[in-house]
A and B are shown apart, each in its own frame.
Chain A
Amino acid sequence: MIDLLPRPLLLRLGVACVLLLVAWATLVRPAHARFDADRARLDIQLQQVRTHAASATEQSDLASTADAIRGIAQRLGSDLRHHKSSKDLLAQIETLAKANAVRINRSETFETDRVPVLSAEGEEQLTLFADRLGIAFTGSYSDASRFVQAIQSDIGIVALESIRLAPVGGQDITGSIEIKGFRLNPKHAGPFSAEAPDDEH
């Protein structure tokens, strides 16, 4: 029977089928897809609402944790900006020495290390500088003790690498310490960049 049908009729039939298919594909199918997607989204949201209502305590804990994280990040960012260079770090240590009645006999700066920080793909690379210093000092034990503690706690992120103390007679002791003071590379400050100063090593 198909052979008997004139070609224009078959052509029209084909065109009509194509038009119907196009109409279905461009109107109905996307409408179905949107409806299905929205219904699935609604189901998920309803589930989220139920879960959310059932875990109010957890939400509160999560909020506190997020606050704590932000607090640590803020503090770390601030600590990593406490000094701007090796000299600056040394100057801050000298200030601490004065404040604690400790006399600095000798100070030495070493080459600054670059400490790369692993980052997720696509994120800006974060780099830290580690300023290395060696300091020899003299003072009473209690003053020297406060001085060393202040170095560790009052001038940003400072790591003590070694400490040697020896009595020199009377109440005084002599001491030598080696430290690493960490600071941000302002050009690669990562999550701290918004607050990073423009100064460079």
Chain B
Amino acid sequence: MSLSRQRLIVSLFPNRVAAGVFQSGQRKRVESIELNSSDWQSAWSSALTPYDPALRQLLARLRLPANAPITVLYHSPTAIIRIDENRGTKAEAEAAALLRFDQSNEGSSTIRAAEAMARSAKSRDDWIVVTVSEREETANAIYTWVARCGGALRDIQPTQAAVLEDAFQAVQATPQRKAACVIDQEWSAVVAGDKEGIELARIFELGYRLLTDAYASAYRPGEPLSHTEAERALMSIGVPTKRGSVPDQVRQDLLPRIAPIVQRLSVEIKQTLRYGLSQGDPPDTLTLEGRGAAIPEIASVLAEGVDMHVKTNPPNPHADQPDAFTTESTEHAFAVRQTRRLALRPSPAVVEQGISNIKRAMLLGASAAMIAIAGEFAWVKHQHRGLDPAFEAISGEIASIVRVNEEIVNASGLATTVGRCAAAIEDNSSVQPDIEEAMGVISHAAGEHTRLSGVEFQLGREGATLTLTGHAEGASEEDAAASLQDMVGFIESQPSIEHVEIGAVSSSTGETPGSAIRRFSLTAHLKPGRTYYEPLARFANATENQP
């Protein structure tokens, strides 16, 4: 059974527990079980455990799923209701009412709610605020009772709050100034005023159950009626003021029981209106509301007592059928009301609701996070795919660059390795002059007037030298010197020669008379020749010297 948009209301009274399913202001199903009102006090002492079977049975009859959310309307043994007039905004008036309530109930553990029901007729700046409170243990007893029976308590409301709310609604429904009295089983409420402002509001513990009890004990002498039977008789016969409505004997037994109750009710209403209305006369008409208003002759009896015209709503043809959630009852009004203004929530229900909200928030949060992650992932993928055309456009050029770079890297690696090899050869070799050119120099140096007796290349790590020994001839000393000088000049002029050092020089006479010989030893420093692999050797050395 789906409970979406449905309300499950459980009403608990000393004589009856009932459960009803309501949807869109319509009663769908109602089940009730009669209780023994004498067990009422002991049931509360036992945290309502004696009523477990009854509630389980009701929920089973209604075929409700486990943990269905339930609102409980109950006759409270401990609830307190208070009516204040507070100035300020609606929220300020409610906060002030709660503060005042807390100050007056310091030390007691209660849950409470305040509702500014209407503007005050005395001052437009004031609000009529109703504060309802319940003791924690009472609220927790209801919570655990519902939980034990497989339901999930959403909120609770004492009947007095519902009765008072009904009375406010009755007055505010019409623009005319009026007084309304809601008579329910255990409580009655009187409210006077109009749509614009409320002049008085009062609730007192006096309901038609006392009349029902009177019928139960006196209607059938010697054999008391059940509560249901008694209520049916009450709603059928009402106040037996006229002869003939019931047997005389019964009337004689009933009237002494009923008259004081009706009289007490009249006095409560009359005094409430007399002392509660500070502005002028009371309204001409008192309207009776609630299931108590359906009692036959109640209006005429009360009219005599309160000295007012008392009227009731058109009679319900089924009013004599005692049933839970009947149309006129406070239960019904409570069940079909769209907003529940004076609802109380036991601490465990608040915690449970909080946990439920957290679970829902977690689910929502997780879903949102998952969606966000999926969205971010899809967005990144989409962005990523957007890069593909750009990569595609330059792929040819990049391949070419990669080839060039690879060639450079390979060539650089090859140059380094081969260069190291070349450097090793150079490091392990003497300086190599250009032998071809050096041999050419020697060949030309040994000319007509110059003879070489020794040629020696000295090739070392530091450099290469060519040592020539021989002699120069001349017709005279000066000619021989000039020939030597010519040879040295020639050698020095050669590009492969860095410079020439002339060593030992001696002069002697030649074989022919008058001739001269000049003996010499000279050293030519040779420029190093260049090998084809030298650039790589330099490259490798430079690479190794890099930091």
Question: Do A and B truly interact?
Answer: yes
- A-to-B contact residues, CB < 8 Å: 1, 4-6, 9, 12-13, 16, 20, 23-24, 27-28, 31-32, 34-35, 38-39, 42, 45-46, 48-49, 52-53, 59, 62-63, 65-66, 69-70, 72-73, 75-76, 80, 113, 115-120, 123, 126, 128, 130, 141-142, 145, 148-149, 152, 157, 159-167, 180, 182, 190-191
Task: Report the Cα distance A34→B354, complex, angstroms.
Answer: 42
- Minimum CB–CB distance from A118 to chain B (whole Å) comes to 5
Whether A66 contacts B455 in the complex (CB less than 8 A), given A20-B370, A117-B424, A119-B417, comes out as: no
The answer to whether A180 touches B429 (Cβ under 8 A) is yes
| B173 contacts chain A at the CB level, 8 A cutoff | no
Task: Decide if the interface of chain B is mainly helix, strand, loop or mixed.
Answer: helix
The answer to whether B457 touches A42 (Cβ under 8 A) is no
| B404 contacts chain A at the CB level, 8 A cutoff | yes
| B62 contacts chain A at the CB level, 8 A cutoff | no
| B425 contacts chain A at the CB level, 8 A cutoff | yes
| B414 contacts chain A at the CB level, 8 A cutoff | yes
User: Closest 6 A-B residue pairs measured CB to CB?
Assistant: A159-B429, A66-B411, A163-B457, A165-B455, A145-B439, A31-B380
- B-to-A contact residues, CB < 8 Å: 351, 354-355, 358-359, 362, 366, 369-370, 373, 376-377, 380-381, 383-384, 387, 390-391, 394, 397-398, 400-401, 404, 407-408, 410-411, 414-418, 420-422, 424-425, 428-430, 432, 435-436, 439-440, 442-443, 452-459, 532-533, 535-536, 544
Using Cβ atoms and an 8 Å threshold, which residues of chain B touch A76? 418, 421-422, 532-533, 536
Using Cβ atoms and an 8 Å threshold, which residues of chain A touch B424? 115-118, 128
7 contacts between A and B (CB under 8 A): A1-B354, A42-B390, A46-B394, A72-B536, A159-B429, A159-B432, A163-B456
- Minimum CB–CB distance from B94 to chain A (whole Å) comes to 24
Using Cβ atoms and an 8 Å threshold, which residues of chain B touch A117? 420-421, 424
Name the contact of B355 in the complex, choosing from A9, A62, A118, A120 (C-beta under 8 A): A9
The answer to whether A182 touches B459 (Cβ under 8 A) is no
Closest residue of B by beta carbon distance from A118: B420
Name the contact of A162 in the complex, choosing from B355, B380, B457 (C-beta under 8 A): B457
- Minimum CB–CB distance from B407 to chain A (whole Å) comes to 5
- Minimum CB–CB distance from B312 to chain A (whole Å) comes to 50
- Minimum CB–CB distance from B460 to chain A (whole Å) comes to 9
Task: Report the Cα distance A113→B384, complex, angstroms.
Answer: 61
Task: Report the Cα distance A76→B415, complex, angstroms.
Answer: 12
- Minimum CB–CB distance from A132 to chain B (whole Å) comes to 11
The answer to whether B453 touches A166 (Cβ under 8 A) is yes
Task: Report the Cα distance A167→B366, complex, angstroms.
Answer: 106
Task: Report the Cα distance A6→B348, complex, angstroms.
Answer: 13
- Minimum CB–CB distance from B367 to chain A (whole Å) comes to 10
Task: Report the Cα distance A81→B227, complex, angstroms.
Answer: 127
The answer to whether A123 touches B377 (Cβ under 8 A) is no
Using Cβ atoms and an 8 Å threshold, which residues of chain A touch B380? 28, 31-32, 35
Name the contact of A166 in the complex, choosing from B373, B411, B440, B455 (C-beta under 8 A): B455
The answer to whether A20 touches B366 (Cβ under 8 A) is yes
Using Cβ atoms and an 8 Å threshold, which residues of chain B touch A160? 430, 432, 435, 457, 459
Task: Report the Cα distance A130→B427, complex, angstroms.
Answer: 12
Whether A38 contacts B387 in the complex (CB less than 8 A), given A66-B408, A76-B418, comes out as: yes
Using Cβ atoms and an 8 Å threshold, which residues of chain A touch B535? 72
Closest residue of B by beta carbon distance from A62: B408
Closest residue of B by beta carbon distance from A191: B417
Closest residue of B by beta carbon distance from A113: B428
The answer to whether A72 touches B376 (Cβ under 8 A) is no
Using Cβ atoms and an 8 Å threshold, which residues of chain B touch A157? 425
